[in-house]
Amino acid sequence: MTSNTNNKTDPSEKFPQLYEVFLYKKKDIIAIQEKLDINSNTLKQIEHEPDEKTLADSYELLLKLVVNLIPIQVKLDIDINPVLEAELRRDKASSDKPIRLFDLLLCLEDDIATIQEELGIVSYTNQEMAEEADKNARVYLRKFEEFHGPLEDDL
Looking at residue 115, its pLDDT comes to 92
* Same domain for 70 and 25: yes
* Same domain for 110 and 36: yes
* Same domain for 152 and 109: no
In a domain, 3, yes or no: no
Number of domains in the chain: 2
**DSSP annotation of 121:** P
Q: Is the dihedral of CA 121, 127, 131, 133 positive or negative?
A: negative
In a domain, 2, yes or no: no
* Same domain for 136 and 83: no
* Same domain for 154 and 93: no
Model pLDDT for residues 1-10, shown as the tens digit of each residue: 444 444 455 5
* Same domain for 79 and 59: yes
Q: Is the dihedral of CA 136, 140, 141, 145 positive or negative?
A: positive
Domain hosting 132: range is 122-155
**SS3 label, residue 76:** coil
Q: How confident is the model at residue 76 (pLDDT cuts 50, 70, 90)?
A: very high
In a domain, 11, yes or no: no
Report how far Cα 154 is from the mean position of its chain's Cα atoms. 45
* Same domain for 147 and 126: yes
User: In angstroms, rounded to a whole number, what is the distance separating the alpha carbons of residues 40 and 111?
Assistant: 18
**What percent of the chain lies above the pLDDT cut of 70?**
69
* Same domain for 135 and 59: no
Model pLDDT for residues 87-144, shown as the tens digit of each residue: 888 856 566 677 788 889 999 999 999 999 899 887 766 666 666 666 767 776 777 7
In a domain, 9, yes or no: no
User: In angstroms, rounded to a whole number, what is the distance separating the alpha carbons of residues 101 and 107?
Assistant: 10
In a domain, 32, yes or no: yes
* Same domain for 130 and 87: no
* Same domain for 150 and 80: no
Looking at residue 45, its pLDDT comes to 63
User: In angstroms, rounded to a whole number, what is the distance separating the alpha carbons of residues 139 and 137?
Assistant: 5
Encode 32-44: b = buried (16+ Cβ within 10 Å), e = exposed.
bbeebeeebeebe
Element spanning 98, H or E? helix 98-119
In a domain, 111, yes or no: yes
φ, ψ (nearest 5 deg) of residue 6: -115, 120
